């Protein structure tokens, strides 16, 4: 009988189109392992919202394995130590895992490879970052030429189904409930019921998205509509492969209509490409001049932003949606992030950390790239002087119903007034039951004032 093979799951919690699973299954009977490593990521330890998702995703993967006659072995500790220990305990011929590009994942791989036969497979992205190269062999730092070059490798090979699996005997492991991944006192996850973590939930969400995918280019910018794919948390934990999503959209939607969404999948790959080149991108500005920006130490303003009480309805709606559901509409993410770093002149890393803890789709590459893009500090980013005007953005993208959903104290306001209630006629405020400064806050900073302060701080930094 063939020697056992160890499958080391990380943020790739699926059986279909999972190259490490397929490689291990082909070589012999398998043991499936997930290690909860809270130490290796350092201050990028998985945030609270995503730990909620992880609990349910692991439970789903465990059920999928059990239905095939196996089980998911759970261990807690330093993965670089635990993985070789389990491999030795079962007499594994090899450890099979997907390649990931976070700095701690690279360090784990290097350590495990020194003491065990580690077989790494591509499968977390559309293409390995180092495979998308410029004509001279260099790495891209700008998205548009990188995206054009990626097309040389697209479409990728079709996704593969779940392979036949035989299971080897696994040692004892931890109980998922003992890991304390779910919130208890208080349980703030009541609104997370909008999600169905796991591989089956990811497939169902993809099917729902395909019904509206042809209108993605317009719908994605309208927070009051369901135009987003809502696949990001499933992709972040690897419950569905990006290749599966690409092929499904490309086959179901005409090419011109599909391109805007496929481009977003490319942006996810590009974020990993930047992180692969700049492992500290989550902490260090891509442009040195931003080290000199004099950010404000303003804990009250930061708290108002976190709690969704800035007095700007579109910002507050987004921040409350984030807290309630672990997710925020992408257009609103940009508006809320810009408001923090430009209007309030608060360090982008404080916003990045808050998103990291609150997002069920937290991804180091995408999160850091997004925040540095908004700040203007990334190697590929928007100019600093591009400052989103919250009121203009809110009206342009018809956010009235979105605001009514997440800022219910403004639910009675007309579309004409809801984006900037402080500009509404007193009689309109009374009719809507709104008392500014009491039932809903006044703006904590004026748009012109915040913009001028931000531009002055940047001008001083570049002197």
Bond preceding residue 155 cis, omega within 30 of 0: yes
pLDDT tens digits for range 98-156: 999 999 999 999 999 999 999 999 999 999 999 999 999 999 999 999 999 999 999 99
**Residue 463: its pLDDT value, please?**
82
Rounded to whole angstroms, how far apart are CA atoms 392 and 380? 25
Binning the chain into helix, strand and coil, the percentages to the nearest 5 are 55, 5, 40
Phi first, then psi, for residue 139 (nearest 5°) are -90, 145
pLDDT tens digits for range 128-138: 999 999 999 99
pLDDT tens digits for range 349-397: 999 999 999 999 999 999 999 999 999 999 988 889 899 999 999 999 9
Q: Assign a CATH topology to domain 5-123.
A: Rossmann fold (3.40.50)
Q: What is the mean pLDDT of residues 167-193?
A: 97
User: How big is the chain by its Cα radius of gyration, in Å?
Assistant: 23
Q: From 7, 57, 135, select the one nearest 360 (Cα to Cα).
A: 57
Determine contact, residues 372/338, Cβ cutoff 8 Å. no
**Residue 1: its pLDDT value, please?**
67
Looking at the chain, the domain(s) classified CATH 3.40.50.620 span: 5-123
Looking at the chain, the domain(s) classified CATH 1.10.579.10 span: 288-462
Which architecture, in CATH terms, is 125-156+198-277?
Alpha Horseshoe (1.25)
State the CB neighbour count (10 A cutoff) for residue 423. Answer: 10
pLDDT tens digits for range 291-348: 999 999 999 999 999 999 999 999 999 999 999 999 999 999 999 999 999 999 999 9
Residue 71 has pLDDT above 90, yes or no: yes
CATH node for 288-462: 1.10.579.10
Rounded to whole angstroms, how far apart are CA atoms 4 and 128? 28
Residue 46's SS3 state is coil
Please report, for residues 120, 399, 409, 419, 422, the alpha-carbon distance to residue 433 in angstroms, rounded to integers and kept in the order given: 60, 20, 8, 16, 13
Strand order in the sheet with 30-36: 72-76, 30-36, 5-9, 94-98, 118-121
Pairing, β 5-9 against β 94-98: parallel
Looking at the chain, the domain(s) classified CATH 1.25.40.80 span: 125-156+198-277
State the CB neighbour count (10 A cutoff) for residue 280. Answer: 11
Residue 313's SS3 state is helix
Strand (E) or helix (H) holding 439: none
């Amino acid at each position: 009988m063939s020697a056992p093979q160890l499958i080391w799951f990380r943020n790739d919690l699926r059986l279909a189109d999972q190259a490490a699973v397929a490689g291990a299954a082909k070589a012999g009977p398998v043991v499936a392992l997930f290690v909860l490593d809270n130490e290796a990521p350092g201050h990028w330890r998985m945030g609270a919202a995503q730990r909620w998702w992880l609990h349910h995703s692991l439970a789903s993967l465990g059920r999928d394995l059990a239905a095939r006659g196996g089980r998911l072995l759970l261990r807690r500790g330093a993965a670089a130590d635990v993985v070789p220990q389990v491999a030795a305990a079962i007499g594994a011929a090899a450890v099979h895992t997907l390649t990931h590009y976070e700095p701690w994942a690279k360090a784990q791989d290097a350590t495990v490879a020194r003491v065990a036969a580690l077989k790494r497979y591509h499968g977390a992205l559309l293409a390995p970052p180092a495979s998308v190269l410029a004509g001279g062999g260099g790495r891209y730092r700008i998205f548009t030429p990188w995206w054009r070059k990626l097309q040389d490798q697209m479409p990728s090979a079709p996704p593969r189904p779940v392979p036949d699996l035989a299971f080897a005997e696994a040692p004892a492991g931890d109980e998922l409930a003992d890991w304390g991944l779910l919130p208890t006192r208080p349980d703030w996850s009541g609104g997370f019921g909008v999600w169905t973590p796991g591989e089956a939930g990811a497939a169902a969400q993809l099917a729902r998205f395909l019904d509206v995918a042809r209108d993605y280019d317009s719908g994605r910018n309208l927070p009051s509509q369901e135009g987003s794919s809502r696949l990001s948390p499933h992709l972040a934990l690897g419950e569905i492969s990006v290749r599966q999503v690409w092929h499904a959209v490309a086959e179901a939607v005409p090419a011109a209509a599909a391109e805007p969404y496929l481009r977003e999948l490319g942006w996810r790959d590009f974020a990993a490409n930047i992180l692969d080149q700049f492992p500290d991108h989550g902490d260090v500005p891509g442009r040195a001049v931003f080290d000199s920006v004099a950010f404000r130490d303003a804990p009250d303003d930061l708290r108002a932003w976190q709690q969704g009480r800035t007095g700007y309805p579109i910002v507050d709606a987004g921040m409350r949606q984030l807290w309630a559901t672990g997710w925020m509409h992408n257009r609103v993410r940009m508006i809320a992030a810009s408001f923090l770093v430009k209007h309030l002149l608060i360090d982008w890393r404080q916003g990045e950390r808050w998103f990291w803890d609150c997002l069920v789709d937290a991804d180091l590459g995408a999160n850091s790239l997004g925040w540095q893009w908004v700040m203007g500090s990334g190697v590929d980013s928007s100019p600093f002087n591009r400052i989103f005007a919250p009121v203009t953005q809110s009206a342009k993208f018809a956010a009235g119903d979105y605001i009514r959903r997440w800022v219910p104290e403004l639910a009675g306001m007309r579309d004409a007034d809801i984006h900037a209630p402080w500009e509404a006629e007193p009689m309109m405020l009374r009719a809507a039951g709104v008392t500014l400064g009491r039932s809903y806050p006044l703006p904590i900073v004026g748009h012109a004032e915040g913009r001028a302060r931000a531009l002055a701080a940047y001008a001083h930094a570049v002197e």
